[in-house]
Structure 1
Amino acid sequence: MPPTNTPTLRQRRLGAELRKLREHAGLTSTEAAQRLGLQQARVSMIEAGRYPVGADRVRAIALTYACPDESLVDALAAMTGRRVRGWWDQCRDHLPPDLVDLAELEHHATALRVSLAIHIPALLQTPDHTRAMLREAVPSFRPHEIEHRLSHRIKRQTVLHRGTPPPYAALLHEAALHIQYGGPDTARAQLGHLLDVSEEGHVTIRVIPYNCPRFPGNGQTINYVHGADPHLDTVQLDTHHGCEFLDAQAQLTKYRTILDRTEAVALKPDASRDLIANIMRSL
């Protein structure tokens, strides 16, 4: 297959992991190309995610680099071949690339953990809540842009309702439960939805109450996406300019620690449900 000038996040991640294996082996791209029987330019394109490789090629590369981690090699091999073209590909013409990449990343996740301070998790939002939030964007979205983003968010939520959904753990501050996007009726329906979805076996919702003396990570929104191997985990952070994706091992360790500490101070699931129900009744 010919090279591509617009590799997806998943393709770029595969290339980056192969580059890490090469560097860990102490090889330059020129030395690696000689051992693999490839041109140096081809190695560079593979590492940039611009040239597709098959599972056999990935295994040959890993063997050349003397990678001892069979689980990681298997996970990398599974990322090769013909790319899954999902519903998100239809969004590339009218949404930022990072939102499209996020949907693909979640599709391949083995588990999902999120932590938020003043927002309901995107995968747990009702359409009315989402639409009300999008109307507050700065600069403002035009009506058709709101509908595009709303449709994208609703389709992202299907990852939690497929045949074998990934475990999903949400940590959210009590403040997020009190903000009435769309008014009391919309807020009440949103809280009711949280209660409903929390009854599903693969979904866990835990709340950090107002009286909690600390909030690890200072309330930064964190979306931790588990890959097929721990080396392939990804952290997605929301910024004012779009999504930021992190995958360095030090970064992954940092955000796992923040999530673990946040979970330690959050209410248990049953107590969280009781708090959500009480707030809903007060509206």
Structure 2
Amino acid sequence: MVTKREPTARQLRLAVELRRLREAAGLSAREAAALLGVNSVQISQIELGTSGVSEQRLRQLAGHYACTDEEFVSALVAMATDRTRNWWEEYRGHLPTSFLDLSELEHNATFRWDLDLIHVSGLLQTEDYARALFSTRIPELPENELELRVRHRMQRHLIIEGDTPIPYKAVIHEAALRIRVGGQAAAGAQLARILELSEADHITVRVIPFALDRFDDTGSAMIYAGGSVPKLDTVVRDGPHGTTFIDSEAQLGVFRTLFRRVEAASLDPGPSRELIHKLTKEL
């Protein structure tokens, strides 16, 4: 018996956006199906991400839903017709689905913002730092899975270190830089790596120092990935029960404001590098 593969986060995002367009048009699934000359089950399957949709049918739906944003519709078409199987597929069935969904999200992102309070962002981590973090997981990971996670995390660095890197901003609390993950040597190598990457034109690293007055709690770390159009931006947050992908326009607006507020309160790139140099010497 063949098991149908679970939709990826990208496929589910397409499904959600099509449902939002239909609901904004005030149409039921049955009414939308009638306009296409299909049954409502097909519309439901498309909106659940369990069935694909062709470019022609997607554009028909957008027309029936009175969506005149051509840039947005074209972005949805690109999502619907993308059949690329990329490097993260080798981990399917070996790592949690959220790892693969994050890789896919990053691969299609146009920019990336990170806010980190306790640990250095995954895109900036050295191999030893990542291995030390994964080693603290409870229950303890088998050695083969731990190494798979480390290798996967290192491959994710392609989006900022590959041939076509995307603009990347990282705002890191001083606490994350002072915690000696993996010991003194690993922590020193991690700080040196951040300094090296921060010299790249497309990478901006800012530090929130302990000395900052009136720094309000931001709740937790976050990843903000820019979509091909702003409506397709995504926020990723890790919690005790797993990874959450956030895509509602209202929430995206909140997280954009949050990041810009924290970014404005943090040290500029130059003073941030000076602080990291200082922390390196203190090790």
In which range does the TM-score fall when normalised by the shorter chain? Answer: over 0.9
- Three-state SS of the structure 2 residue aligned to 1:114 is strand
AA partner of residue 243 (structure 2): C
Q: Which residue of the partner structure matches residue 31 of structure 1?
A: 31
Q: Which residue of the partner structure matches residue 223 of structure 2?
A: 223
Q: Which residue of the partner structure matches residue 11 of structure 2?
A: 11
In structure 2, what is the Cα distance between the partners aligned to 1:70 and 1:158?
30
AA partner of residue 154 (structure 1): M
Taking only the aligned residue pairs, the percentage that are identical comes to 45
Note the 1:132-281 alignment, pairs <5 A: 132-281=132-281
The Cα shift of 1:219 comes to 4.8
- Aligned residues of 1:120 and 1:172 also touching (Cα < 8 A): yes
For residues 186-209 of structure 1, what are the alpha-carbon distances to aligned partners after superposition, in whole Å with 9 as ceiling and x for unaligned? Answer: 111100000000011111100000
The Cα shift of 1:5 comes to 5.0
- Aligned residues of 1:4 and 1:51 also touching (Cα < 8 A): no
Q: State the TM-score, normalized to the length of structure 1.
A: 0.96
Q: Which residue of the partner structure matches residue 49 of structure 1?
A: 49
In structure 2, what is the Cα distance between the partners aligned to 1:163 and 1:21?
36
- Aligned residues of 2:159 and 2:166 also touching (Cα < 8 A): yes
The Cα shift of 1:146 comes to 0.9
In structure 1, what is the Cα distance between the partners aligned to 2:174 and 2:101?
30
Note the 1:120-135 alignment, pairs <5 A: 120-135=120-135
The Cα shift of 1:210 comes to 0.2
- Aligned residues of 2:25 and 2:66 also touching (Cα < 8 A): yes
The Cα shift of 1:218 comes to 2.7
- Aligned residues of 2:112 and 2:166 also touching (Cα < 8 A): yes
Q: Which residue of the partner structure matches residue 61 of structure 1?
A: 61
- Aligned residues of 2:218 and 2:258 also touching (Cα < 8 A): no
Listed as ranges, the gaps of 5+ residues in structure 2 are none
Q: Which residue of the partner structure matches residue 118 of structure 2?
A: 118
The Cα shift of 1:213 comes to 2.1
Instruction: Work out the number of aligned pairs and report it.
Output: 281
In structure 2, what is the Cα distance between the partners aligned to 1:64 and 1:4?
30
- Aligned residues of 1:216 and 1:258 also touching (Cα < 8 A): no
The Cα shift of 1:158 comes to 1.1
AA partner of residue 112 (structure 2): L
AA partner of residue 9 (structure 2): L
AA partner of residue 146 (structure 1): L
- Aligned residues of 1:166 and 1:202 also touching (Cα < 8 A): yes
For residues 200-257 of structure 1, what are the alpha-carbon distances to aligned partners after superposition, in whole Å with 9 as ceiling and x for unaligned? Answer: 1111100000011233453511101110011111110011222111111111011111
